[in-house]
Amino acid sequence: MTRKILAALISLFAAACAQFSTHGTPAVERLYVMNCGEGVAGDISRWTPGMNEGKTMAFVDTCYLVKHANGWLLWDTGIMDAVAGMPDGLKPADPKAVHWKRPKTLAAQLAELGVKPSDIKYVAISHTHADHSGNVNMFPASTLLVQKAEYEWPVPAGQPPRFKPEHPVQKLEGDYDVFGDGSVRILSTPGHTPGHQCLLVKLPKTGTVVLSGDLAHFKDNWDSRRVPSMNTSADQTTASMQKVAGVLAQEKAQFWINHDKAQRDSMKMSPQYYE
């Protein structure tokens, strides 16, 4: 009898351990990389001032779904799903910007995993440009994790507010440890926009990754620490790049660049996942 109780206790303990990392804290279980748009930039000199005049480049747009023991978090929502129904995609007002298409919707990729929008606890976006915030309203019950500086960034005259006022939100002022165990951390990285942020995720097998948002748009720009012309602050961007470079070195982390097609083409895409 005692043995049976002991065996039961051991299996209970093992089950409890399976939910926790080696550090004894609840942990990230999986990360899915999702196709949230594909496009062509008309003239990449707007990202590389003084260089690449008239040169076009293929861009991708990426969303990331994180499964933590204490809930789902979606990082960036991509270009709006309605673009999938537009035969010629979404033409930008500025022909130098990106002409986006949507080969797969975010909704279909979530459905493929059996995840309902109402299952998502947190929606965190790097910033409020349309290629990152396009589907925020698909998740009216999820708590938004955005910097106060981004939330309160005034919109141009005549434009609707950046977020619906009734959308649940946690307005952040700086870095934020989402689940309180250090495994998913928002890094405040202003400069591209006033409240731009990156996301650090500690995966049990893959190791630590930092998701770029638009801190850099492609690897060559990151390596050269170039500041695109549309950024709201060059000084803040440079400081944010230095901050993230320090984090990458300290955490021995990979840097996953949202719009970098060459890098994304080498990745496992949902429904495959990283763990």
Size of the site for Zn ion (CB under 5 A): 2
Residue 150 CB, shortest distance to Zn ion, in Å, is 14
Residue 226 CB, shortest distance to Zn ion, in Å, is 15
CA-angle at 167, arms to 175 and 176, nearest 5°: 10
Residue 35 CB, shortest distance to Zn ion, in Å, is 15
Nearer to Zn ion (CB atom), residue 78 or residue 117: 78
Nearer to Zn ion (CB atom), residue 61 or residue 181: 61
Residue 213 CB, shortest distance to Zn ion, in Å, is 8
Residue 92 CB, shortest distance to Zn ion, in Å, is 12
One residue of 38, 131, 150, 260 binding Zn ion per CB under 5 A: 131
Q: Which of 198, 273, 196 is nearest to 233 (CA)?
A: 196
63 neighbors 78 (Cβ within 8 angstroms): yes
Nearer to Zn ion (CB atom), residue 179 or residue 256: 256
Residue 214 within binding range of Zn ion, rule CB under 5 A? yes
Instruction: Kindly give the residue spans of alpha helices, DSSP state H, lying in the chain.
Output: 2-18, 106-112, 130-133, 148-151, 219-224, 234-251, 261-265
Cα of 165 vs its chain's centroid, Å: 22
Stretch that binds Zn ion, among 30-38, 123-131, 140-148, 156-164 (CB under 5 A): 123-131
Nearer to Zn ion (CB atom), residue 81 or residue 214: 214
Nearer to Zn ion (CB atom), residue 179 or residue 222: 222
Alpha-carbon separation of residue 248 from 51, 104, 140, 175, 264 (angstroms)? 27, 31, 33, 15, 19
Residue 76 within binding range of Zn ion, rule CB under 5 A? no
DSSP string, 159-224: PPPSS-TTS-EEEESS-EETTSSSSEEEEE-TTSSTT-EEEEEEETTTEEEEE-TTS-SSHHHHHH
Residue 150 within binding range of Zn ion, rule CB under 5 A? no
Nearer to Zn ion (CB atom), residue 134 or residue 273: 134
Chain residues binding Zn ion by CB under 5 A are: 131, 214
